[in-house]
Chain A
Amino acid sequence: MKDHATLAEEFIRDDARTNWHDETLWFVRQKRDKAAHGIPEWEQLREWASQIKNHTLSNMDRYLEEFEKNALDNGVKVHWAADATEHNRIIHDIIKSKGITRIVKSKSMLTEECHLNHYLEEQGVEVVDTDLGERIVQFRHEPPSHIVLPAIHLKKQDVSDTFHEHLQTEKGNNDPTYLTRAARVHLREKFIASQLAITGVNFAIAETGGVVVCTNEGNADMGTHAADVHIACMGFEKLIPKASHLSVFLRLLARSATGQPVTTYSSHFHKPRAGQEMHIVIVDNGRSNILGKADFRNALKCIRCAACFNTCPVYRRSGGFSYHTAVAGPIGSILNPNFDPKKYSDLPFASSLCGSCSNVCPVKIDIHNQLWKWRQELSKGGHLPLSKKIMMKGMAFVLGRPALYRFGGASARWVLRYMPFMVKFKINPWNKQREMPEAPRQSFRDWYIQNKKK
C-alpha cells in the first residue's frame, strides 16, 4: 500500500488542481476565522466545550447508562456494538427482519469507519447516501475525501460528468443550479420510496435520551420522516450530559466547520413517531482502548467539525485520499493509529507540527502534541521503517558526542565545498527541488574560539 508521502506526491503533480484544492479549503478556513472573531467569548466557549467533554469522558459509564435508560423510556430500542462487525450485523438484522430493500442514509462518518455500505451491498442491500456530496462520491465508487465536505476534491465538471452518467443530465452542463436540481429530483424519489433511514448522531444527550443530527440539506429529516424505521448510529463519545450543553456545542460546530452561525437543520430526535420504530446503535470499535490511554484519550472529544482539515497546510495540499482512511486530516492522523498502528504508521508524520490544528479545534484537542507522541509510540512499537531507525540512531550517536559532531560537521562542510556532487544528486530529497545551504569555511565555534574566547 502507498503511504501518505507517495500519495501526496501524486496529488501535487497536478499543480493547478492542488492550488484550487488549497484555495478552496483556505476560503473555508477564512470563513471560520470571521465567524470565530465575530464572537468575543469564542475562547471561553472552546474552554467550556473542552471541559464538558473531559467531564463526560471521565464519567462515560454513568452517562451511557443514563442515556440508555432514558432512550428506552422514550420507546427507542438501544443496541450496543463492540466493533464494526457487530454494528453492521445489528443493522443488517433489523433490515432483514423487516424484509426491507429500500434504504436512505444521511451522513455518518461512523458508518464510513465501519464500511457499512460495502457490507450491506455484499448482503444484497442497496443504501442511498442522501447528503449531496456523499451521493456524488457514492456514484463514483469513491470514499469521502473530507468529513464535512465529502466531494471537495471534485470540480464542477467532474460532478457534471458523474451526473451525466448516472442521472442522464446534459453532457457538459456544469451549471451548479442545474446539477443541484437534478440531484434534488433524484433524491426526492429515493426519500419517498425509502422504508428505512439511517442517520449519524452529532450529539446524544444523557438526560433526555435524545439525539441531535446536524445537516445543511435537511436530508436526515427527509429520510427519517418518510421511513418506517430510523436507525441512528453513534460512537459512544458523542454523548453530552445535558441538553443545555448544546448551547455551547451548536455555537461552535458550524462556525468551526463552515463559518455558518449554526447548521441549517439541527434536528432533535427523542422518540419514534406513532407507527415508527427508532433504534440507536452505540458503538465502541476501539474507543474504549483510546479512553484508556492518558496521552491520547482527549482525541475522543472530537465533534467532527473538520476545522483541523481546513487549516492544515498539509491536508490542503495533499487531499483526503492521501490519508487512505475514512477520517483523514490531522484528527484522523491521531485517531487511526489507535485502530491499526502498522497500517497508519505514516499518518502522524504527515504534518510539519505547525500547531494550527490545535488552535482551531473547538474542543481544544492537543492534536499536534498527540502527533508528536504518536511518533514516539510508533517508534517504540517497531512500526517505523528500519532505514529511518538506522538513520536516526546514527544521528543521535554522532550528535550526542561533541568531538564526533565537530568532526562530522567539518567533514560535511568540506564535502559540500569541494565535492558537492556527493550530496547534490537527485535521490537526495532535499536537493530535488532545493539548493543545499552553502558551506562556510569556519563553524561558529571555530570563529568564536579564534575571535572571542577569553
Chain B
Amino acid sequence: MDNEPNNMKVALFIPCYIDQFYPQVGQATLELLTKLGCEVDFPLNQTCCGQPMANSGFAAASKDCDKNFVRNFTGYDYIVGPSGSCVLHIKEHLKDDQHPEETIHIRKHIYELTEFITDVLKKEVPNAVFPHKVGLHNSCHGQRGLGLSSMTERVLPAFSKPEQLLSKVKGIQLLKPVRNDECCGFGGTFSVFEEAVSVKMGKDRIKQHEANEVEYITGVDVSCLMHLEGILKRQGSKIKTIHIAEILNTEA
C-alpha cells in the first residue's frame, strides 16, 4: 500500500462519549489529521464500539453496535480514533457474522491516533507549541493492549509512541510520574461498579502527578482523562486534563 496520505481513504472514529462530551477532542483529531495531509471522512451514523456492554459481560447483547460499526466503517483503508481503549475493543472483539471479510479488514486497519501518525503516516508533528509542564498518563489499553509504548513489567527495549510525538512539541516540559504505567482506575463500568477502588486508584495517580507540579495531565484516552478530571475538579485542583490531540494540534 502506498503510504502517501492523500492516497488513503481514512475514516474518523469518534467514540460516543467523545462525541457527546468532548467534541473538542474530535475537532483536534480531525484538524491534526488534515494538517498531516489526510483526506478524512466522518461516517455520520457511527455510535459506540460496544465496549461498555462487552466489558460488563454482555458482548453477545451488543450485536447491534457491532453491525452498526461495520456498516459505517466498511470501505476505508484506515480507521483512526483518539481513544486507545475503544480501538483495542474493535481490534479484539468486533464481530459481524454476516460481514466476516469487512469485519476482519476493520479489525486489522483500525488505529489509535498516535500510532497512526508514527507507524502508518510515519510523520512528526513539527509545528505544535505547548509551553507547559505536562504529565503523561499511559493508558493501559493503549500501552499494554495496542503496544503504544514499552511496559515496566516486560524485559524489552524501551519506546513510547506518544512520547515520541510529544517530545517534538515546542516548549513542552514532559514529566513522568513514579509508577509510570500504573492504571488510573477508570476501567469502563469498573468506575461505577467498583467505585471505591476506582476513585482510590485515580487519587493515587493524581498525587504522583502533583508531586511533579504539572499543569496538565495528558494521554491518548479521553476516558482515563475524564475520570481523572472528575476527581481533580471535585478536589478543586488547578491541574487540567487535555487529550494528546489537542496538544499536537496547537500552533505557534
A residues whose Cβ falls under 8 Å from a Cβ of B: 4-5, 8-9, 12, 18, 22, 26, 33, 36-37, 39-40, 42-43, 311, 313-314, 317-318, 349-356, 358-360, 372, 375-376, 378-380, 384, 388-389, 392-393, 395-397, 399-402, 405, 409, 412-413, 429-430, 432-440, 442-449, 452-453
B60 — which chain A residues lie within 8 A by C-beta? 376, 379-380
Interface of B is mostly: helix
- CB-CB under 8 A from A443, the residues of chain B are 19-20, 23
B125 within 8 A of A: no
B21 near A352 with CB under 8 A, answer no
Identify 18 new A-B residue pairs, CB closer than 8 A, beyond the known A400-B62, A400-B67: A5-B197, A314-B194, A352-B187, A352-B194, A355-B144, A359-B154, A376-B60, A392-B56, A396-B53, A400-B64, A401-B47, A413-B21, A429-B193, A435-B229, A435-B230, A443-B20, A445-B14, A448-B26
Enumerate chain B residues within 8 angstroms of A402, measured Cβ to Cβ: 45-47, 68
Give CA–CA (A378, B57) in the complex, Å: 7
Q: Output the least CB separation between A344 and chain B (Å).
A: 14
Stretch from B113-121, B169-177, B199-207 that touches the partner: B199-207
For B164, the chain A residues whose CB sits under 8 A away are none
* Shortest Cβ distance from B192 into A: residue: A429
Q: Which residue of B lies closest to A11 (CB)?
A: B196
Question: What are 25 inter-chain pairs, A to B, with CB distance below 8 A?
Answer: A9-B197, A39-B155, A42-B155, A349-B57, A352-B198, A353-B55, A354-B144, A358-B144, A359-B154, A375-B55, A375-B56, A389-B58, A392-B61, A397-B64, A400-B63, A405-B16, A429-B193, A434-B202, A434-B227, A437-B22, A440-B22, A443-B23, A444-B22, A447-B26, A452-B42
Tell me the complex Cα distance, A275–B152, Å. Answer: 51
**Least Cβ–Cβ distance between A21 and chain B, in angstroms:** 11
User: Chain B residues with Cβ under 8 A from A375's Cβ?
Assistant: 55-57
Known: A4-B194, A349-B194. A396 touches B21 (CB 8 A): no
| Beta-carbon nearest neighbor of A40 in chain B | B155
Are A352 and B196 in contact, with the CB atoms below 8 A? no
For the complex, what is the distance from the CA of A443 to the CA of B23, rounded to whole Å?
6
Which residue, of B156, B230, B231, has the highest number of chain A Cβ atoms within 10 A?
B230
Check if B186 sits within 8 Å of A352, measured CB to CB. yes
A33 and B23 alpha carbons, distance in the complex (Å) = 40
A353:B190 contact, CB within 8 angstroms: yes
The reply to whether B19 and A392 contact each other, CB–CB distance below 8 Å, is no
Q: Taking the complex as formed, is B245 at the interface, i.e. its CB lies under 8 A from any CB of chain A?
A: no
Closest A-B pairs by Cβ, 7 of them: A400-B64, A352-B187, A434-B230, A379-B57, A444-B26, A359-B153, A375-B57
Q: Digitize B8-40: 1 where CB-to-A-CB distance is under 8 Å, 0 elsewhere.
A: 000000101111111111110010000000000
| Interchain CA distance A311-B144 in the complex, whole Å | 14
Q: Count contacts on B: residues with CB < 8 A to the other chain.
A: 76
Closest to A37 in B: B155
CB pair A439–B67 under 8 Å, yes or no, is no
B200 and A317 form a contact (CB under 8 A): yes
Using CB atoms, name the residue of chain B closest to A440.
B23
B191 within 8 A of A: yes
Partner of B230, one of A352, A436, A442: A436
Would you call B190 and A409 a contact (CB within 8 A)? no
Complex Cα spacing A453 to B44, Å: 10
**Please, which residues of chain B bring their CB within 8 A of the CB of A349?**
56-57, 190, 193-194
Q: Across the interface, do A399 and B183 meet the contact criterion of CB distance under 8 Å?
A: no
Judge whether B5 is part of the interface by a CB distance below 8 angstroms: no
CB distance from A444 to the nearest CB of B (A): 4
| Contacting pair A354 B64 (CB below 8 A) | no
Chain A residues, Cβ within 8 Å of B196: 5, 8-9, 12
Q: A43-B155, A392-B58, A444-B14 are in contact. Are A352 and B183 (CB under 8 A)?
A: yes
Query: In the bound complex, how far is the Cα of B198 from the Cα of A5, in angstroms?
Result: 10
Contacts of A36 in B (CB 8 A): 153, 155
Q: Which of B24, B46, B188, B204 has the most CB of A within 10 A?
A: B204
